Chains A and B, each alone.
Chain A
Amino acid sequence: MSVQPTGGTVVEIPTFETARLRLRAPRWDDFDTYVAFLASPRSEGVGGPYTRDEAFPRFCTLIGHWHMRGYGRWLVADRETDAPLGIVGPMFPEGWPEPEIAWSVFDGAEGRGIAHEAALFARAYAYDVLGWATVISCTAPGNTRSEALARRMGAVHDGVCQHPHGPLTVWRHPAPAAVREGAA
Chain B
Amino acid sequence: MTPHLADTPVLTTERLTLRAPAPRDADAFIRFFTSERSRFVGGPKTPREAWNFFGTEIGHWALRGYGLFTVTRTGEDRALGMVGHWFPLGWAETEIGWLIFDAADEGTGIAREAAAACVAHAWGPLGWTSVVSYIDHGNDRSVALAEKLGARLDPDAPQPATSKGETVLVYRHPRPESVA
Q: Which A positions have Cβ atoms within 8 angstroms of B? A: 1-3, 5-14, 25, 28, 31, 52-53, 55-57, 59-72, 93-95, 164
Contact = CB atoms under 8 A, between A and B. Distances in A.
A9 B20 CA distance: 10
B75 interface: no
A60 B56 contact: yes
Nearest to A6: B65
A63 B21 CA distance: 13
A75 to B, nearest CB: 12
12 contacts: A1-B94, A3-B129, A8-B7, A9-B67, A10-B5, A11-B3, A56-B89, A57-B88, A60-B60, A64-B55, A70-B2, A95-B51
A164 B64 CA distance: 29
Nearest to B64: A5
Contact of A64 (B56, B128, B129): B56
Contacts of B1: 12, 14
Interface size range of chain B in the complex: 35 or more
Contact of B63 (A28, A52, A68, A95): A28
A155 B143 CA distance: 55
B52 A13 contact: no
A28 B161 CA distance: 21
B94 A66 contact: no
A37 to B, nearest CB: 16
A31 to B, nearest CB: 8
B153 interface: no
Contacts of B89: 52-53, 55-56
A59 B47 contact: no
A94 B61 contact: no
A174 to B, nearest CB: 27
Contact of A67 (B55, B87, B93, B161): B55
